[in-house]
Amino acid sequence: MPQKIAIIGGGVAGLTTGYLLSDSYDVTLFEKDNRLGGNVYTLDTKTGEAIDITVFFYSPMQYPNFFKLLLKLGIKSTTRPMEGCSQSFQNLKTKQAYYLNCDPMRITSTLHPRNFRALFYQGIVFWNYYKGMRMNNEGKFHGLILKEALRFLPGLKGDVLKMAIFPICIMTSMLWDELMEAPAEFVFNKIEKQCGSIKKFVSWRLYPCKTRTYVEKLAAPIREKIILNANIKSVSRFNGDVIVKMADEKEQTFDKVIFACPADTALKLLEQPTDEEKRLLGAWKYKDGLVIVHTDKSSYPSENLWGLYSYLYTEEDGKINTSINAHYRFQKGVPRNSNYIGTQHPNIDIDKNSIEFQKVFRTPIYDINSTETIKALPSLNAQMGTYFCGSYFGYGLHEDAVTSAINVSKMLGADWD
């Protein structure tokens, strides 16, 4: 009889472990939501469009394990590099706006006069990114938060600073003020992970499929052992067994457990956590980020200034607040005349009649306390039959979730290579 493993969490990390371990173990996956996927979500709209709400682009170069996983699932990359890579920035009060297009296949947009100043500013942004990465690699940002490190990069100021920081808000799902308090080393390591270097420039591309495609393929081998709407009360470890107790007091016994859920959730579920589990998992805080999918265009620049993302921001008394807005018409497979917009951290009034979907997505906050634990997190694995994985094992990316899941699966004997 194969050993029994409980996986707690049906996001990409939990699904990857279930997929890789399904041949060797009796796997049961528990997901508290009524759907799989975690922070990826494919929405079928009233007009028949299939839209990925939060995650829809990646880099084969910087996401090697995720790219390999897609290939294992029979999903080949078919989109061109930098497809749909365009952004707009608009001050909600002054209506001043910049449009930036980096898609080499849309040369007419790239060379349009409205793009010249933004391209010049973006050149300054990248130069300062690379300067910051070099200084970071030299150890000059050690112990500094981002706000303190920026004094070494005087070229990042005014609108140029906004063009530099707003994309990092996307990368981290963090607000401006939260980023300014984040460790500078983490921020510039993440920038290097996302953008590469002068010698190794990273090109991004849209997903070749909808996210639900790979969610369904990952879930297929364990489909009959997936429990949705799972209300787990506690997880205890006793005499070599792992006991999962539900809210109705029913119990199931397993040989091992994999926590593929947020760190704070794992710590809350664990009965009698070890001191190291308390220290490493307890350092993590999470935020609830509201995402609204709607068709209200009234607060946005004219449609010829729409990019893949629009940043609508306010600036008052030195405080900057931006919403992150995805124009889904730039996604692969979505009509070019689609009016659907996804707004994260809304700072605008949205007509209620235009709202088709809204959901809160939980994401980790990368602060001084949490980032210090990242390197030590793998040391928690294989203790008392307990394992952990998730995007917080790195930079909060799909690649980090998949890589940590692969590492756990390999520890348990799964074949990845």
Confidence (pLDDT) at 115:
62
Confidence (pLDDT) at 194:
77
Does pTM surpass 0.85?
yes
Confidence (pLDDT) at 79:
65
The torsion angles phi and psi of 145, rounded to 5 degrees, stand at -90, 165
Q: Homologous superfamily of 4-54+209-283+373-411 in CATH? A: FAD/NAD(P)-binding domain (3.50.50.60)
Q: Is residue 24 a contact partner of residue 415, using CB atoms and an 8 Å limit?
A: no
Question: How do beta strands 251-254 and 355-365 pair?
Answer: unpaired
**All residues at 6 or more sequence positions from 273 whose CB lies less than 8 Å from its CB, including other chains:** 267, 281
Residue extents of the structural domains in the chain? 4-54+209-283+373-411, 86-203+286-365
Q: How far from 90 is each of 8, 96, 154, 321, CA to CA, in Å?
A: 41, 6, 23, 12
pLDDT by residue for the chain (417 residues), tens digit each?
799 999 999 999 999 999 999 999 999 999 999 999 999 999 999 999 999 998 887 778 888 999 999 999 999 877 666 565 678 889 999 988 888 776 555 544 444 555 667 778 888 888 999 999 999 999 999 999 999 999 999 999 998 999 899 988 988 889 999 999 999 999 999 888 877 766 666 677 778 889 999 999 999 999 999 999 999 999 999 999 999 999 999 999 999 999 999 999 999 999 999 999 999 999 999 999 999 999 999 999 888 778 888 999 999 888 899 999 999 998 888 998 999 999 999 999 999 999 999 999 999 999 999 999 999 999 999 999 999 999 999 998 899 999 999 999 999 999 998
Q: How far from 140 is each of 214, 249, 373, CA to CA, in Å?
A: 41, 53, 21
